[in-house]
Structure 1
Amino acid sequence: MTPQLEVQLIAVIIAAACALPGVFLVLRRMAMLSDAISHTVLLGIVLAYLISNSLASPLLFVGTAAMGVITVWLVEMVSGSRLVREDAAIGLVFPALFSIAVLLISRYTGNIHLDTDSVLLGELAFAPFDRIELLGIDLPRALIFGGGALILNAILLALFYKELKLATFDPALAATLGFSPAIIHYGLMTSVSLTAVTAFDAVGSILVIALMVAPPATAYLLTDRLPRMIGLSVAIGVAAALSGYWVARWFDVSIAGAMATMAGIGFGAAWLFAPQRGIVAQALQHRSRRERFAVQMLTLHLLNHESTGDAAIECHPRHLIEELRWPPAFANAIVRRAEQSGLVRRQGDVLCLTEQGRALARDL
């Protein structure tokens, strides 16, 4: 397998691994917390390294998972005091823990490959050169650890799908049925922490955040069904990873930056053009509702004035502009729509209701 294919495979696996827990972060409106965890686990890495003196020690995974849980606990403790809101609590906790990690790195780990640039930005192009042997096969370390994170997240999702779904949409009901929303919450945050640290060395925390938030947020705009949202989130993350790699190759730019950019472009496209929730769709729905209401107002107006002495004036199209204060172009459009719908017809210069239009106006 060539290094180029290995880079793409690593990116695809990490994107899928990040998308699975990311769906529930987006649904719980906890995207900012994923940002915090993706930075504060650096402190867990540093502390574990200082204890074990090895970047390959399993203690690093324990430290990162523990630091992710500690971050969530500190945020909830600060926000639970009700003196500050949750977003402010996140803004207080994660810079403090991340800053401690940066200070420890600059003070004690200046001569090893553990620095803030590699953790924040990563470099996927170098990932194929850091290799280990698994079952007699020489593979990139990032591929093995990323694949492990993906398999672990998929297993946890399959085993605890019902509990995650219930605790996400109705925590009170989950507690009533005997499930502990707190345990499910901390379990999800532990999964997020482990996923973040497995991707650190290859892609950096910035891309981890992008892949954990942008694809699920995009999928959220495209569907209301949770299984479909999970599938779409993984597919969008994979598409962002592959398209980002080729964009980076064509324009000779950062691979991680290009992938994050493509994830953002995907979200922007869905934000604008999603069938139900997109800005364009909402604008069209608003316009349709406005025109439908205006047609109803027109039928009511005509019903109130038909067969009266001033019907020739009140039912004239020009009078709609004065009486209902509609712009001329809008008034003409509403009259045309009412005529096309079979609600109104013209008798000379006067508008008259059809039987269908009269029935609608009476119902209103």
Structure 2
Amino acid sequence: MGAEFVQFSLTPILIGVLAAIACALPGNFLILRRQALIGDAISHVVLPGIVVAFLLTGTVAAIPMLIGAAAAAIVAVILIEAVKRLGKIEPGAAMGVVFTTLFAGGVLLLEQSDTSNVHLDVEHALMGNLESLIWFRASGWGSLLDPVALASLPPELGRMAVVCLLIVALTLVFWRWLKIATFDEGFARALGIPASALGFGLVITAAIAAVAAFDAVGSIIVIAMFICPPAAARLMTNRLGAQVWWSVGFAILSAVLGYTLAGYGPLWFGSQNAVSAAGMIAAVSGVILGLASLYGPHRSRVGVGRDDAGA
């Protein structure tokens, strides 16, 4: 039974790893720009977009869900900016008002909708369905060359792989601009870099990562991965390049260790009931951040932020 569990766990672990990396990469720049709560806001506001898409189409197909969630994320970004400018309040308060209001609206819509014939509920929105994303037809490495077996792969795997590769590519292409604009927007504008457009693009990239990860892993992991791995990485180094690598390592460790502990941890304590994989992955990422806060070599520099323009 143990070997079977490990075999079937490979697919959800890989999905969790891809989701964690996709969220952690833009999370590094959001942390340094003091916009970490944007990831939190986006992960909440995709819910009303998904529910509206379901009400309009009557299905939970990937494309309508992604379009609805992406639209909701963009609306949230616009509303946050509007509340901040028109109400003249600080960004954190604006984000808090918008994302709690939209998330509450999504929950109300979900509770009033007939979702008995689909896998869409509040628990799914928070925790995802990572445990169920198993490749049942896998029978060894030969399955990778078997068209019938490949057709049964969870669609979330391909979706997360494409999004993760896209975010990696965007990070590499805009690396120099992101580094300059993150630490000194004035200098970036003097060099002709469109700092405002770059900042908006960063938020949209974070929204894409959150939307793609939402269905598989839920909002809990999305929030944790946007903040915990990059924040822990910041405590390990004062160089941006090294910080990104640290954050990717912490994201992978959180996903793998968290999923494994969710499945096997209760057995070690004599319980037969597995715990939520999403909750355990988020908890592991929090423990990693806590350890970095206590023992990270650069924990005294956590407040340096943009002033440290290390490469």
In the superposition, relative to structure 1, how do residues 245 and 168 fare at CA in structure 2: closer, same or farther (>3 Å)? same
TM-score computed with the length of structure 1 as normaliser: 0.71
Question: Residues 24 and 235 (structure 1 numbering): CA distance in 2 closer, same or farther, change over 3 Å?
Answer: same
Residue by residue, what CA displacement relative to the aligned partner does 1:266-318 show, whole Å, maximum 9, x if unpaired?
11111011123259xxxxxxxxxxxxxxxxxxxxxxxxxxxxxxxxxxxxxxx
Contact 2:8–2:136 (CA under 8 A) maintained in structure 1: no
Could you tell me which of 37, 41, 51 is aligned with 1:36? 41
More strand by share: 1
Structure ID, larger Rg: 1
Displacement of 1:62: 2.4
1:226 equivalenced with 2:243 (yes/no): no
**Displacement after TM superposition at 1:265 (Å):** 0.8
Q: Which residue identity lines up with residue 25 of structure 2 in the other structure?
A: L
- Tell me the residue number matched to 2:249: 235
TM-score normalised over the length of structure 2: 0.83
Is residue 265 of structure 2 the alignment partner of residue 250 of structure 1?
yes
1:186 corresponding residue in structure 2: 200
How many residue pairs end up in the alignment? 278
CA-based RMSD:
2.3
CA–CA distance in 1 between the matches of 2:203 and 2:224?
17
CA-CA distance at 1:218 after TM superposition: 0.3
1:21 counterpart = 2:26: yes
Code of the aligned partner of 2:14? L
Instruction: Say which of 84, 108, 112 aligns to 1:103.
Output: 108
Give the partner amino acid of 1:223.
T
Identity rate, percent: 40
* Larger RCO (CA within 8 A; separation ≥ 6): 2
Name the aligned partner's letter for residue 127 of structure 1: L
Take 1:59 and 1:125, find their aligned partners in 2: how far apart are those partners? 23
CA contact (8 A) 2:127 2:276 kept: no
Which residue number corresponds to residue 309 of structure 1?
Answer: none
Deviation at 1:173, TM superposition (A): 2.2
Does the 8 Å contact 1:78/1:89 carry over to 2? Answer: yes
Contact 1:68 1:189 in 2 (8 A): no
Q: Which amino acid aligns with 1:258?
A: M
Write out aligned runs for 1:194-209 (5 A). Answer: 194-209=208-223
C-alpha separation between the residues in 2 aligned to 1:125 and 1:226?
34
Shift of 1:23: 0.8
Kept in 2: contact 1:129–1:140 (CA 8 A)? yes
Q: Paired residue for 2:88, among 83, 88, 91? A: 83
Q: 1:276 to 1:186 in 2, by over 3 A?
A: closer
Give, in angstroms, the shift of residue 188 of structure 1: 1.4
Post-superposition CA distance 1:9-51 (Å, at most 9, x none): 2222211111111111111111111111100011221222233
Could you list the runs of 5+ residues in structure 2 that have no partner in the other structure?
1-5, 138-143, 267-273, 302-311
Find the partner of 2:172 among 147, 152, 158.
Answer: 158
Q: How does 1:286-301 map to 2 (within 5 A)?
A: none
